[in-house]
Chain A
Amino acid sequence: MNNKVYNNRAWLLVLPMLVLVAFSAIIPLMTVVNYSVQDVLGPNASFFTGTEWFRTMLNDSALQAAFGRQILFSLIILAIQIPLGIGIALIMPKQGWQASAVLILITLPLLIPWNVVGSIWQIFTRGDIGLMGWGLRELGINYNITRNAGDAWATIILMDVWHWTPLVAMLCYSGLRSIPEAYYQAARIDRASKWAVFRYIQLPKLTNVLVIAVLLRFMHSFMIYAEPFVLTGGGPGSSTTFLTQSLATMAIGQQDLGPSAAFSIIYFLVILLVSWVFYTTIMHLQKDKNSQGGA
Chain B
Amino acid sequence: MAEIVLKALAHTYSANPQSPEDYAIRQMEHVWHQGGAYALLGPSGCGKSTLLNIISGLLEPSEGDVLFDGQRVNELPPEERNIAQVFQFPVIYDTMTVFDNLAFPLRNINIPGHRITPKVEEVAEILELTPLLKRKAKGLTADEKQKVSMGRGLVRDDVSAILFDEPLTVIDPQLKWKLRRKLKEIHQRFNITMIYVTHDQLEASTFADKIAVMYEGQVVQFGTPQELFETPAHTFVGYFIGSPGMNFLDVHYHAGEVIFADIPLTMPQTFVDAIANSKRSNIKIGIRPEFVNVHASQREGALPARKRQVQDLGTYSIVTFELGGQTFKARLPEGHPEFGDDIYLTFDHDQLGLFVDEYRVEVTS
Q: What residues make up the interface of A, taking CB atoms closer than 8 Å to B? A: 180, 182-183, 185-186, 188-193, 196, 200-201, 204-205, 289-295
Other-chain residue from B58, B79, B91, B139 in contact with A183 (beta carbon distance below 8 A): B91
Interface residue tally of chain B, by bracket? Answer: 20 to 34
Other-chain residue from B85, B94, B108 in contact with A196 (beta carbon distance below 8 A): B108
For B25, what are the chain A residues with a Cβ–Cβ distance below 8 Å? none
Chain B stretch 123-139: residues in CB contact (< 8 A) with chain A: 135-139
Say whether B87 faces chain A, with CB atoms less than 8 Å apart.
yes
Say whether B291 faces chain A, with CB atoms less than 8 Å apart.
no
Cβ–Cβ contact B140 & A193, under 8 A: no
For A188, what are the chain B residues with a Cβ–Cβ distance below 8 Å? 58, 77-79
Other-chain residue from B87, B93, B109 in contact with A200 (beta carbon distance below 8 A): B93
Other-chain residue from A190, A204, A291 in contact with B105 (beta carbon distance below 8 A): A190
Ranked 8 nearest A-B pairs via Cβ: A293-B139, A186-B91, A293-B136, A294-B139, A182-B87, A190-B105, A191-B108, A191-B79
Report the nearest B residue to A292, measured CB to CB: B136
For A200, what are the chain B residues with a Cβ–Cβ distance below 8 Å? 93, 95-96, 104
For B105, what are the chain A residues with a Cβ–Cβ distance below 8 Å? 190-191
Say whether B83 faces chain A, with CB atoms less than 8 Å apart.
yes
CB distance from B141 to the nearest CB of A (A): 8
Additional pairs, 11, CB under 8 Å, beyond known A182-B88, A185-B78, A290-B139: A189-B56, A189-B78, A189-B79, A189-B83, A190-B104, A190-B105, A191-B79, A191-B108, A201-B93, A204-B94, A292-B136
Say whether B149 faces chain A, with CB atoms less than 8 Å apart.
yes
Cβ–Cβ contact A293 & B104, under 8 A: no
Other-chain residue from A182, A191, A201, A291 in contact with B109 (beta carbon distance below 8 A): A191
For B58, what are the chain A residues with a Cβ–Cβ distance below 8 Å? 185, 188
CA distance A295 to B89 in the complex (A): 21
Cβ–Cβ contact A180 & B89, under 8 A: yes
Instruction: Give the interface centre of A185, A204, A205, A294 by most chain B CB atoms within 10 Å.
Output: A185
Chain B stretch 227-274: residues in CB contact (< 8 A) with chain A: none
Report the nearest B residue to A186, measured CB to CB: B91
For B96, what are the chain A residues with a Cβ–Cβ distance below 8 Å? 200
For B108, what are the chain A residues with a Cβ–Cβ distance below 8 Å? 190-193, 196
Cβ–Cβ contact A289 & B87, under 8 A: no
Cβ–Cβ contact B85 & A185, under 8 A: yes
Say whether B152 faces chain A, with CB atoms less than 8 Å apart.
yes
Chain B stretch 301-332: residues in CB contact (< 8 A) with chain A: none
Main SS of the interface on chain A?
helix
For A204, what are the chain B residues with a Cβ–Cβ distance below 8 Å? 93-95
Cβ–Cβ contact B88 & A290, under 8 A: no
Instruction: Give the interface centre of B109, B138, B140, B141 by most chain A CB atoms within 10 Å.
Output: B138
Say whether B84 faces chain A, with CB atoms less than 8 Å apart.
yes
For A189, what are the chain B residues with a Cβ–Cβ distance below 8 Å? 56, 78-79, 83-85, 153
CA distance A293 to B95 in the complex (A): 10
For B94, what are the chain A residues with a Cβ–Cβ distance below 8 Å? 204-205
Cβ–Cβ contact A182 & B79, under 8 A: no
CA distance A27 to B93 in the complex (A): 49
Cβ–Cβ contact A192 & B104, under 8 A: yes
For A180, what are the chain B residues with a Cβ–Cβ distance below 8 Å? 89, 91
Report the nearest A residue to B83, measured CB to CB: A189
Given A190-B105, A200-B95: A292 in contact with B135 (beta carbons within 8 A): yes
Given A182-B89, A185-B87, A201-B93: A190 in contact with B152 (beta carbons within 8 A): yes
Chain B stretch 50-64: residues in CB contact (< 8 A) with chain A: 56, 58
CB distance from B151 to the nearest CB of A (A): 11
CA distance A292 to B132 in the complex (A): 11
For B93, what are the chain A residues with a Cβ–Cβ distance below 8 Å? 200-201, 204
CB distance from A23 to the nearest CB of B (A): 44
CA distance A289 to B135 in the complex (A): 10
Report the nearest A residue to B105, measured CB to CB: A190
CB distance from A157 to the nearest CB of B (A): 32
Chain B stretch 71-129: residues in CB contact (< 8 A) with chain A: 77-79, 83-85, 87-89, 91, 93-96, 104-105, 108-109
For B153, what are the chain A residues with a Cβ–Cβ distance below 8 Å? 189
CB distance from A254 to the nearest CB of B (A): 53
CB distance from A130 to the nearest CB of B (A): 47
For A293, what are the chain B residues with a Cβ–Cβ distance below 8 Å? 135-140
Report the nearest A residue to B109, measured CB to CB: A191
CA distance A204 to B135 in the complex (A): 17
Cβ–Cβ contact A292 & B79, under 8 A: no
CA distance A92 to B327 in the complex (A): 57
CB distance from B73 to the nearest CB of A (A): 14
CA distance A1 to B89 in the complex (A): 29
CA distance A244 to B82 in the complex (A): 61
For A289, what are the chain B residues with a Cβ–Cβ distance below 8 Å? 95, 136, 138
CA distance A289 to B109 in the complex (A): 28
Report the nearest B residue to A290, measured CB to CB: B139
Sample of 15 A–B contacts (CB below 8 Å): A180-B91, A185-B85, A186-B91, A186-B149, A189-B56, A189-B85, A189-B153, A190-B108, A190-B152, A192-B104, A196-B108, A204-B95, A289-B138, A292-B139, A293-B139
For B135, what are the chain A residues with a Cβ–Cβ distance below 8 Å? 292-293
For B109, what are the chain A residues with a Cβ–Cβ distance below 8 Å? 191
Report the nearest B residue to A182, measured CB to CB: B87
For B139, what are the chain A residues with a Cβ–Cβ distance below 8 Å? 290-295
Cβ–Cβ contact A182 & B95, under 8 A: no
CB distance from A285 to the nearest CB of B (A): 11
Cβ–Cβ contact B79 & A186, under 8 A: no
CB distance from A175 to the nearest CB of B (A): 14
CB distance from A210 to the nearest CB of B (A): 14
CA distance A291 to B138 in the complex (A): 9
CA distance A211 to B84 in the complex (A): 35
Instruction: Give the interface centre of A185, A189, A293 by most chain B CB atoms within 10 Å.
Output: A189
CA distance A200 to B108 in the complex (A): 12
CB distance from B340 to the nearest CB of A (A): 52
